[in-house]
Structure formats: C-alpha cells, structure tokens
Amino acid sequence: MSDEKIKIRIITHEKVVFEQDVDEIYSVGIDGSFGVLKGHIPFITPLEIGVTKVVNDGIPEFIATMGGVFQFSDNHAVILTD
C-alpha cells in the first residue's frame, strides 16, 4: 500500500467483497453523508442502506452497502455489511 492512499476493505459475513487502495471514500451514516481523506481522525459509525463511493486517481467506483458499520483508523477503512 502506498503511504499516500487509504486501504479499504468491504466485508460481508461470507467474504471480503472489495479491497483496494484509494484516495477518497464517501458513504452515508445514520447521521448523514460523510467523506474520508488520508489522515482523517479515527472514527466509527453505523451505516444506512446506500452507496459507498471510492475515488482512486480521479476515477469513482460505487458499491452498494446494506447498512453495517464503517470504521476508520490509521488510513485503514473497514466496512462490515450484509
């Protein structure tokens, strides 16, 4: 992983469905939409059913998430979802 990227993993109860180094992450928590860039403070939030957007080198990719939990710490993001 590059020191200039965020490592994101999206995990269901069956397997890791997405794993990539990205520049930006956007999703929808129970308190509203949020975005994360490299160096963001650690946090954890429950997710609403919605779409998580990741951007890598200016190219967006969209992943449907059925609720779950988003956790961010030390430039590593984990989404646990159905």
Locus of tokens 């129970």: 30
How does residue 81 score in pLDDT terms, banded at 50, 70 and 90?
very high
Whether 1 shows a pLDDT value over 70: the answer reads no
Q: Read off the pTM.
A: 0.91
Tokens of 23: 């520049």
Whether 7 shows a pLDDT value over 60: the answer reads yes
Instruction: Name 78's Cβ contacts closer than 8 Å, sequence gap at least 6.
Output: 8, 9, 10, 11, 70, 71, 72
CA distance 13 to 11: 7
pLDDT at residue number 4: 87
